[in-house]
Amino acid sequence: MIDKRKVIPRRTFIAGLASSAGLTLAGCGETEPPTYGNLLRMGDWVTYKAHRLLLPEQALAREYDLGDISAMPATGTVNPGDDQQTFFDPVHGPEFSRVQSSGFDDWRITVEGSVDRPGVFSLQDLQKMPSRTHITRHTCEEGWSAIAQWTGVPLSTVLYACGMQSQARYVWFHAYDSWIDSIDMNDALHPQTILAYGMNGRQLPLSHGAPLRLRVERQIGYKSMKYLRKIVVTDNFADGGSSVHIDDGWSWYNGI
Amino acid sequence: MKEDVVVSEVPTEAEGHRRWVRISHWVIALSIIMLGISGVFILAVHPRLYWGEVGNDLVPAILEIPISANHRPEGWQRTVDFTEVSQSAFSANRMYPIFNQNGWARSLHFLAAWFFLLAGLIYALAGFISGHAKHSLLPKRGDFSLASLKKDVLEHLKPRAGAIGAGPPYGIVQRISYGIVLYVAMPLMVITGLAMAPAITAALPILLDIFGGFQSARTVHFFSFSVLLLFLVVHVTMVFITGFSRQMRAMILGK
């Protein structure tokens, strides 16, 4: 389940303001995202529910041509091994440096939780699976956008290979830079949701999440987590705490 | 004063505003204030505007708005060149911290957008059904004649002696302004807003085609907001000029 060390309640100005005004969302339990009962989260929740109700499940994000590929900024963590990074993880940061020095030969990703056959995969294991390549627009919450080509294995392929159980509803991702986040099954099983190891025809560069990153093409950029090390399938929505930055006001669902 | 201009007025509107107009007016007003405040914070995170699908710190902008120091061309470290794909395809790392309050600003923006959308839909629907839009708000056929336009503009420039009536009938300039704001700028805000949402454009890619891309929609969003802001300034100024307490009473109590 979720790394309990990461579940640190932290109130921000807005969150505190709204919750102190007694604005709580009744019936918002652990099975429904998001778990924070303030006014802003209610808006996020309405948006999430409206999108899931009104938008077709399998609609594909627009795909572009090779000539549309653009310059692309790398922001946030650009090297999880660097202890000066904002989201440096004292445990997994040095571990990242170690697997990086092996050319990611020693890198493994684990898949656990609500699966019949929890798995451990090397980069080669993933590259042997059927791949998908698409050219899509990365849309950052900051307001910028960039077009790049991504190559990887569909997340659904990996989940089914591990025997995902029928009651599973969310997929959690743990990164080397202390970041944790999740997506629902609609996005997890979407054909464009891939575990990418290639960018613009090359191996995924360090600054863009090497050796493996997530691509969730129908959500804002920060949901496409970089530097993956663990995938956990869960039946319920669990609070990721400050690591997912929902309690800093960052929306868990960000299709807008 | 303007009886010669407005002939087909609905009598019940002669005094103040109807209840649905008052309620939707204030919900829309409050949500626009929230959208405006959060929107300025969101824009400050990336105060550059572009045309097309792509726009970021590594490509030229068509307009830079000096409201934050988040764009620093010298603060980027070039790491990877994808020259085999395209000359313009490369990656660079941002080496400086930025101002970013989007956590709450984006959520507040979308929360307010829900209120704006719902109140706006009710307002548009009620306005259509009741005939309020046709009779009082939208410009009429004769409004665009040079003579009547000139007459109404001159009317606005006259010094005001005492308060004038609140609510309809509205003058020509007023009807053209309301028409542009309610039926052009506000719908454009919603449509360009939706065109920036990756989940929505996946379902409705036509939204990207209409504006020519995500960044184009963002740029149009900014300019139609500028129109709304200009309207807001003039609108509030006119409320003060024509008798603040009388106008507020008319829009709050309806008399």
| Model pLDDT, residue B8 | 41
Give A84→chain B minimum CA distance, Å: 12
* pLDDT > 90 fraction of chain A, expressed in percent and rounded: 73
* pLDDT > 90 fraction of chain B, expressed in percent and rounded: 62
In a domain, B40, yes or no: yes
| Model pLDDT, residue B38 | 97
Say if residue A243's pLDDT is above 70.
Answer: no
In a domain, B93, yes or no: no
| Model pLDDT, residue A9 | 35
- Per-residue pLDDT averaged across A209-231, rounded? 98
Question: Contact A107/A122 with Cβ under 8 angstroms?
Answer: yes
Over residues A55-109, the pLDDT tens digits come to: 999 999 999 999 999 999 999 999 999 999 888 999 999 999 999 999 999 999 9
Chain B segment 183-222 residues within 8 A of A by beta carbon are 196-203, 205, 208, 214-215, 218
In a domain, B84, yes or no: no
For A200, the closest of B76, B82, B197 (CB atoms) is B82
Measuring CA to CA, which residue among A25, A46, A48, A52 is closest to residue A36? A25
| Model pLDDT, residue A28 | 38
Total tally of structural domains belonging to chain A: 1
User: What is the distance between the alpha carbons of residues A52 and A49, in angstroms, rounded to a whole number?
Assistant: 5
Domain carrying residue A145: 61-248
Total tally of structural domains belonging to chain B: 1
Cβ <8 Å between B79 and A206: yes
Q: Which of A40-54, B35-49, B123-137, B160-174 has the lowest mean pLDDT?
A: B160-174
Q: How confident is the model at residue B148 (pLDDT cuts 50, 70, 90)?
A: confident
Q: Which of A65, A72, A138, A187 to mutate to test the interface with B (most CBs of B within 10 A)?
A: A72
In a domain, B3, yes or no: no
| Model pLDDT, residue A138 | 98
Contacts with A209 from chain B: Cβ below 8 Å: none
Cβ <8 Å between A142 and B111: no
Q: For the domain that residue A78 is a member of, what is the CATH number?
A: 3.90.420.10
In a domain, B77, yes or no: no
For B93, the closest of A47, A56, A78 (CB atoms) is A78
User: What is the distance between the alpha carbons of residues A254 and A76, in angstroms, rounded to a whole number?
Assistant: 17
Q: 3-state SS of B101-151? A: CHHHHHHHHHHHHHHHHHHHHHHHHHHHHHCHHHHHHCCCHHHHCHHHHHH
ipTM rounded to 2 decimals:
0.89
Q: Which of B71, B77, B104, B206 to mutate to test the interface with A (most CBs of A within 10 A)?
A: B104
Residue A228 CB coordination number (10 Å):
20
Contacts with B103 from chain A: Cβ below 8 Å: 12, 245, 248-250
In a domain, B141, yes or no: yes
Average pLDDT, chain B: 89
For B214, the closest of A13, A46, A145 (CB atoms) is A145
| Model pLDDT, residue B137 | 81
Q: Which residue did the predictor score with more confidence, B173 or B45?
A: B45
Contacts with B200 from chain A: Cβ below 8 Å: 51, 55, 255-256
Q: How confident is the model at residue B145 (pLDDT cuts 50, 70, 90)?
A: confident
Q: Which of A187-201, B42-56, B74-88 has the lowest mean pLDDT?
A: B74-88
Over residues A184-216, the pLDDT tens digits come to: 999 999 999 999 999 999 999 999 999 999 999
Q: A247 to chain B: nearest residue by CA?
A: B103
In a domain, B76, yes or no: no
- Per-residue pLDDT averaged across A224-246, rounded? 83
Q: Which residue did the predictor score with more confidence, B51 or A45?
A: B51
In a domain, B238, yes or no: yes
Q: For the domain that residue B219 is a member of, what is the CATH number?
A: 1.20.950.20
- Which residues are registered as beta bridge partners of A110? A120, A230
User: What is the distance between the alpha carbons of residues B130 and B18, in angstroms, rounded to a whole number?
Assistant: 11
Q: A244 to chain B: nearest residue by CA?
A: B103
Contacts with A206 from chain B: Cβ below 8 Å: 79
Say if residue B143's pLDDT is above 80.
Answer: no
Contacts of residue A107, defined as CB under 8 A and 6 or more positions apart, other chains included, come to A99, A122, A123, A211, A212
| Model pLDDT, residue A31 | 59
Q: How confident is the model at residue A21 (pLDDT cuts 50, 70, 90)?
A: very low
User: What is the distance between the alpha carbons of residues A88 and B5, in angstroms, rounded to a whole number?
Assistant: 69
Q: Is A135 on the interface with B (CB under 8 A)?
A: no
Contacts of residue B223, defined as CB under 8 A and 6 or more positions apart, other chains included, come to none
| Model pLDDT, residue A98 | 97
Residue A84 CB coordination number (10 Å):
6
| Model pLDDT, residue B57 | 98
In a domain, A136, yes or no: yes
- Per-residue pLDDT averaged across B115-137, rounded? 90
Over residues A151-181, the pLDDT tens digits come to: 999 999 999 999 999 999 999 999 999 889 9
Over residues A132-147, the pLDDT tens digits come to: 999 999 999 999 999 9
Domain carrying residue B177: 11-70+100-252
Say if residue A20's pLDDT is above 70.
Answer: no
- Per-residue pLDDT averaged across A8-28, rounded? 36
